[in-house]
Every structure is written in structure tokens, then in C-alpha cells.
Chains A and B, each alone.
Chain A
Amino acid sequence: MLEIKNLHVKLEEEDKPILKGVNLTVEAGKVHAIMGPNGSGKSTLSYVLAGREGYAVTEGSATLDGEDLLALEPEERAAAGLFLAFQYPVEIPGVGNMTFLRTAVNAQRKARGEEEMSAGDFLKVVREKAKRLKIDAEMLKRPVNVGFSGGEKKRNEILQMAMLEPKMCILDETDSGLDVDAMKLVSEGVNALRDAGRAFLVITHYQRLLDHIAPDVVHIMADGRIVKTGGPELALEVEKNGYADILAETL
């Protein structure tokens, strides 16, 4: 589904290389996890895939079901089925959460030539999905992420994902800042979406999330590259011993 080949990325402003040849293939129906030290380029990879400005791709490619992601505008990538749950969800004062969700859902439907969702249907679906994530009606009325706690913001990301039903979901440290119960809610949210036609790329520092969302493949990213790939046991190893051994072995 997602195919990244030899991706090199630098900061547009500073000429500072950050990704130095990332190779990664995520197949439909699978959950891949990426772990790696702070500053190794995990968020950068997710931003570049989602189309954030400020980065220059100097080499390599990224495709979603064969379509060149890097040639698309961010909204086109979203309409093509890509979703990024932000490490730091953005606050947007003055835009109601509901308005935001409905605008997004309908924009994507429109881009795909589907019919827009009626206000009534939309409300029903949001309420139901929000309830499962223990997001109350009052939170839905507030401006996007404004005044939300860290954990509430992360749950709001998962609500957006549940509403948009993307096929390729990238979760950037969605577990950080979550309490034990919220972690369960979020994992259930993710697991509920798992199916043969959808794939996940889960960026995390902790094994704990992977206890709930069992990954098929685990990658270790260091200094802008995927340096090791393995099964779920790789995450356990990191949890136990840190990155030192793995990094030493790849040098």
C-alpha cells in the first residue's frame, strides 16, 4: 500500500539533511511500528508523507497504491486515503470541532466524487464514534483542540481518523500523554478500524501501545534511516535494552 524508496529529505531553509534514504513498504492489512531515538526523523517522515511545507525531497519516492504521493497537495493525499495523527495536534481557535469534522468528511467525499453526508447522518455517526472514545458532546462543540488536555487532543485525532476512514493511517506518538484508560480507548479505536484493506504505521517510543495494537512488523529508525526491521520481538528488545546495542550493530 505505502511504498517509500530511498527517501532523502532536507530542510528547505537550512540545507540540513534529515532523512537519508528511507526504505519502507507497508502492505494492506498490516500494522507496522516505527521506533527510534528522539530526533531520528520519525515525525519528519510522517510530515513529508502528509505534505507539510518546509521540507525538500532531494531523492527517492513515496507512493500510495502506486500513486505518487509527493506530487499531490496535502488535501489530495488525504482524499487519496492518507491520514496522519499528529504528534502535536493543532489548536484552531474559532473553528468548531464539529464544523471542522464535517467540512473534512464532506470535502473528502466530494474529492472522491461521493455524495456529501447529510447533517443528520453526520451527527449520528460522530456522536456514536465520539462516545466510544469517551469524547463528550461538550468537547465536540468547542473549537478544534482548544483547551483540550494532551490526552483529549490525541483522542480527538483518533475520532477524526474514525470519521475519515482513511486506508493508510500514520499515528505519530498517539500514545504519548495518554493515561492507561485512554491508551486502551485509543487502541480499541485503532483495532476497530483494522481490516484487510487498511494499513497502519504506528510511531511510538513505548512497547505499552504495542501490547494493545499488536504490530506485524517493527522498524527501528536512526539518523534518518530505517536501520533494523523485525517482528514484535524487536520492540520488546528496545523496551528492555534501549537502542545502544541495535545502533552499535548497524554501524
Chain B
Amino acid sequence: MAVPQAKVDALAARIAGLSFEREGWLGAARVEALSRLSSMGLPGKRDEYWRYTDPTDLIQPRTATAALFDAGDEPPVFDAIDRITLVFVDGVFDAAASDDPALAGVEITRLSQAPDLHWARDLYGVLEARGQSPVQRPLAALATAFATDGLLIRVTGKAAKPVSLVYRHDSETSDAILHHCVRLDPGAELTLLESGPGAARFTTAMEVEVADGARFHHVRVQGRDHQRRAATHVFARLGAESLFKSFTLTANGVLTRNEVVLELAGDDGVAHVAGAAMGDGAFHHDDTVFITHDAERCESRQVFKKVLKHGAVGVFQGKILVKQGAQKTDGYQISQSLLLDEDCQFLAKPELEIYADDVKCSHGSTSGAIDETALFYLRSRGVPLRSAQALLVLAFLAEAIGEIEDELIVEDIRQRLENWLARHEY
């Protein structure tokens, strides 16, 4: 199908100012990504996959400005976690601000300086390209083609510490495009942390290859900057008996689209994706998830919770595709929103598509207010209104937070949620 002229023009305008690295060992992958991107065009308002989220601000040639944000006395995210920290400022790796990336069990190379790495050559753009069907994700192809920085992380054993990517936002007009590749060798294990807004506009793709028996934990806290915009993509392919667990906390941010595309390619794999989003006022948060079961006895869970008020909008598009032969699939999906007042909106599109006959799949989506009876019960025991509300909001989020395994990280996330609730009147 020919790309409409308006889309061709929009793409030309968007990439006009971007530098394109045709040379080097990733040049071929970038050229292919650009050709994918050209054949799709950028997302448009009328695209089915963008029905609930207006992509305009994510595709326009220059980003809208985003005021810098002061987190006040809230400690940095993951402060209490023993980790190695790698810092990006407006999408540019900052070696001086980062820890030495030497870590037992892990090899970390900066994308822009990497020598030809076989494993990365086999991964860069590959999972993204696979993820373009059956639905197109042009912004991910954009990230593959035009990423100016990123990390190539190879995990050969059990990582001695979590690797923590910190994305600072230092310029009101920064427009960052990153691409990371992570490969976990058979039996390897890594906890990857991501935090911060990244830039005024942050477009990213991360490809994660989880080999047989490997375990990947991912916890992300997107920045509290009110005016930041982000389009993120995680593509992962899971081998046999592997584990993938991802949790994202999003509090604030005028526009966020988080796409996760997972493929369970080996038997007995486990994939969990969860998110908690807190929005007050100008907040549009979109979780778009696509999980493909292409092997036997795999388990997948999607748990997405949103707390909305003052006109905030939450979107969930979640799909479980069970391919023929993916017997004994156990698929679960829940998306819920808690509306703290009457003028917010939750739009959910849960989908199941099943071509195997011996599977267990369930999905549910709800939207509701705080339970007044429970609120009264708590208050009747002496719990003040605000604390009672906070308890109930945290209870609402509990299933999503429960997807994080590390207790210290859970504590960090809970504290941030409590802080957010304390800051926002409702």
C-alpha cells in the first residue's frame, strides 16, 4: 500500500534535521530500518493503532519545549539500590557522570563507539523488524535508524549488580533518540533499571534477547517532568525456560506511549509486564502491549493500573496472540483504572487471538472510583481520610507492584507512590 503523501512529507520533515549513520557495522541495519520506516510513514491520527493517542507531538519535526523539573527533596530513584549507574543527559551518554561500566557477568559498550560485535549485529533492528507485524510501529523503526546513542549490553552470567540507566533532562528542547540492545546468554541474569525523563522528547527502542534459561528483570521509573513526552519500545524474544519481568512506574508526563512487544519463542517461558501510571491534569498515558505465544506451556501476564484525575487520560491496548501449536499457554491480562474524579478517561482495548485449542487465557478491564464503603470502614477505625485514600490507591496498585521481585525496589516504588499521593489533592 502506498504511503499517503501527507505521511511522506511528515516523515521527510521529521528526519530532515537528524543525522544518519550509513557507515559502520550497523549501517546496513540502519538503512533497512529507514526503508521500513519509509514504507510505513510516521503514525497518524487516523491510524487504527493510534486511535486513542494523538501522535502529533511525537512526530512533529521539532519537539515542544518541556520545562526542567525540580524533584524537590525526593531522593533520586533507586538511590538505595546497590547498582552501577550509567547516565545519559538529553540522550547523550555522560561518561564522567557514570560509574565504570565494568561488572562481573556483563559487558557494556556504548553504541556509538562499539567495535563490530557479532551478537549485537544479529540483534540490532532484528526484533524491532519482527515486531512490525502484524502492527506497524514506525517510531521504533525511527529509533533503529536514527538513534544517536545507546548501550549494547551482553550478559554472560549472573550480573553482580543491577545496571541502572539514568536519563537526565537538561535542556528544554532536547529531542533524544536512543536504541539499546541487551542479550542474555543461556542461564544469564540481569536486573536493568531505567529512570528519568530522558529529554523533552524521548524516543527509544530496546531489544532484548533472553536466551534459554536466562532471567531478565526490568524496572523503569519515567520522569516526573510534567511536560516531557516519550515514545518507548521494548522488544523481547524469550527462549525456553527463560523469564522476563518488566514493571514501569509513570507519574506525570504530558504524553507517554510505552510499547512492549514480546515473543515467547521457547517452551516454558514466563513473561510478565506491568505498569502503574499516576496522572493528574495534563497527562496522557498509553500502554500498548503485544505478546505472542509461539511455544508450549508458556505463561504471560499483563497487569496495568492507572490512577487518574483532573482530566488525565489512560489508554491500554493489550493483545495476547496464541499461535497454532502454542499449547498449554497460560495468558492473563488485566487493565484497570481508578478514577479519582469524574472528568478523567480510561480507554481500553483488550484483545485475545487464539489459534491453539488447549490454552487458558483471561482478560479483564475495569474502571471505577474509590470504594466509599472501604473508605468509611478505614476511617471508622481512625485512619484519617487522606491516609485512607492513599491506602486504597496503593491497594488498587498492589497487583502491578507485586510484579517486582526485589523488595528494596518495591519499597522505593511504594514510597514514590505515597509521595505522589501526598502531593496531589483529591
Contact residues of A with B, CB < 8 Å?
Answer: 50-53, 73-75, 77-79, 83-84, 86, 89-95, 99-100, 103-105, 107-108, 111, 143, 160, 164
B383 at the interface (CB under 8 A from A): yes
Which residue of the partner chain A has the closest CB to B401? A94
- Bound-state Cα–Cα, A100 to B399, Å: 17
Which residue of the partner chain B has the closest CB to A85? B380
A75 touches B384 (CB 8 A): yes
Interface residues of B in 185-221 (CB under 8 A from A): none
* CB<8 Å pairs between A and B, sample of 11: A75-B382, A75-B384, A75-B388, A90-B377, A92-B374, A94-B395, A94-B399, A95-B391, A100-B381, A107-B384, A108-B381
Q: Is the interface of B mostly helix, strand, loop or mixed?
A: helix
Contact residues of B with A, CB < 8 Å?
Answer: 371-374, 376-385, 387-388, 391-392, 394-399
Which residue of the partner chain B has the closest CB to A79? B382
For the complex formed, measure the closest distance between the CB of B279 and the CB atoms of chain A, giving whole angstroms: 20
B387 touches A103 (CB 8 A): yes
A-side contacts of B382, CB under 8 Å: 75, 78-79, 104-105, 107-108, 111, 164
B395 touches A95 (CB 8 A): yes
A94 touches B394 (CB 8 A): yes
B392 touches A95 (CB 8 A): yes
- Bound-state Cα–Cα, A46 to B212, Å: 61
For the complex formed, measure the closest distance between the CB of B349 and the CB atoms of chain A, giving whole angstroms: 25
A-side contacts of B381, CB under 8 Å: 78, 100, 104, 107-108, 160, 164
B-side contacts of A78, CB under 8 Å: 379-382
B-side contacts of A94, CB under 8 Å: 392, 394-399
A-side contacts of B371, CB under 8 Å: 92
User: Assuming the A-B contacts A92-B392, A94-B399, are A75 and B383 also in contact, with contact meaning beta carbons closer than 8 angstroms in the complex?
Assistant: yes
For the complex formed, measure the closest distance between the CB of B368 and the CB atoms of chain A, giving whole angstroms: 13
- Bound-state Cα–Cα, A245 to B380, Å: 37
For the complex formed, measure the closest distance between the CB of A130 and the CB atoms of chain B, giving whole angstroms: 16
B-side contacts of A143, CB under 8 Å: 395
B372 touches A53 (CB 8 A): yes
A-side contacts of B395, CB under 8 Å: 92-95, 143
- A-B pairs, top 4 by smallest CB distance, nearest first, are A94-B395, A78-B382, A108-B382, A74-B379
A73 touches B385 (CB 8 A): yes
Which residue of the partner chain A has the closest CB to B393? A94
For the complex formed, measure the closest distance between the CB of B407 and the CB atoms of chain A, giving whole angstroms: 15
Which residue of the partner chain A has the closest CB to B397? A94
A107 touches B387 (CB 8 A): yes
- Bound-state Cα–Cα, A105 to B380, Å: 12
For the complex formed, measure the closest distance between the CB of A102 and the CB atoms of chain B, giving whole angstroms: 10
- Bound-state Cα–Cα, A47 to B378, Å: 14
B380 touches A50 (CB 8 A): yes
User: Assuming the A-B contacts A90-B373, A95-B391, A95-B392, are A73 and B379 also in contact, with contact meaning beta carbons closer than 8 angstroms in the complex?
Assistant: yes
